[in-house]
Amino acid sequence: MSVISFLSKTGVHEQALRKFFKGSVAYDGPPMFDHPLYCIGFFNRSGSNLLAGYLRATPYFSGFHEQLNFNTVEKQSADWGVTSFPGFIREASERFGKGQFVHGFKASVDQLMMLQRFGIPKMYAGGLRIIHITRGDLIGQAVSYQIASQTQQWTSQQSGIRADVDVCFDAKQVTHLVEAAQASVNGIAMFAELFDCPRLHVSYEELVKRPGRVLSRVARFAGQTGADWPVVKPGIERQASELNERLRQQYLTETRDKLL
């Protein structure tokens, strides 16, 4: 599938929210916020929660949770009496801003397209800016996803279904996840080019080794000095274990044998 065809597909979140808001999803007015809309562009298991934790510890940012997932939007909108998607964005930012200047969101490639189709960047002076985190080890990322999808422990702060879950290895699924992760990387990069959105690329590996350097880069990207941005140890920890490495090696062995 070409990257343009990939971007043209309407994701599950957009489909559900168009139905939930009965079509009241588009914004075409003047800016409501005097700063750009910042989103962490991500694919699952790329380190987005780790990056979000570092950013929330700064005096500039709040948010960067998965507030754009349709089930979260629907529940919070119903609780707040919100009847449009732009109304949700405004309400969420005001309620959860916690006194910080910028309230950001995490967004997958299909959610970025949803925001663009809905005209949400028009709500912000400066439009949309993307902090794009990727992971160099795509196989490790896919294995991590396969494990987390079975244990339901997506971060170290979650207990999961049970500690002794018997994780099933599926090489075909790992290959599919590698391809999906790469499609996401290419899709977000192309999205930024097509819609003229400034994009800062951050790697998971760089974030783990040099978080201070990453924060300095984000600060410059946001037009800030970052002098008062502390490098605070995040509340989540690395989850990879011996199981991750064992399944990674199993995938490499099986795939090499198949290719040869």
For the domain that residue 220 is a member of, what is the CATH number?
3.40.50
Kindly state whether residue 247 falls inside one of the protein's structural domains: yes
pLDDT in tens, the chain (260 residues): 789 998 999 999 999 999 999 999 999 999 999 999 999 999 988 999 999 999 999 999 999 999 999 999 999 999 999 999 999 999 999 999 877 789 999 999 999 999 999 999 999 999 999 999 999 998 988 888 888 878 776 564 555 555 567 788 888 999 999 999 999 999 999 999 999 999 999 999 999 999 999 999 999 999 999 888 989 877 766 666 788 889 989 999 999 988 98
Please answer whether residues 202 and 218 qualify as being in contact, where contact means their C-beta atoms are separated by less than 8 angstroms: yes
Q: Please count the residues of the chain.
A: 260
Cα–Cα distance between 145 and 77 in angstroms, integer? 29
pLDDT at residue 169, as a whole number: 86
pLDDT at residue 194, as a whole number: 97
Kindly state whether residue 260 falls inside one of the protein's structural domains: no
pLDDT at residue 232, as a whole number: 87
Kindly state whether residue 194 falls inside one of the protein's structural domains: yes
Kindly state whether residue 196 falls inside one of the protein's structural domains: yes
Kindly state whether residue 161 falls inside one of the protein's structural domains: yes
- Nearest one of 108, 20, 122 to 70, comparing CA atoms: 20
Kindly state whether residue 235 falls inside one of the protein's structural domains: yes
Q: State the alpha helices, DSSP H only, in 22-159.
A: 48-56, 70-80, 85-96, 109-117, 138-151
Domain that holds residue 217: 3-254
Domain count, the chain: 1
SS3 138: helix
Please answer whether residues 226 and 214 qualify as being in contact, where contact means their C-beta atoms are separated by less than 8 angstroms: no
Interhelix angle for 70-80 vs 85-96, to 10°?
80
pTM of the predicted model, to two decimals?
A: 0.89
Kindly state whether residue 237 falls inside one of the protein's structural domains: yes
Kindly state whether residue 259 falls inside one of the protein's structural domains: no
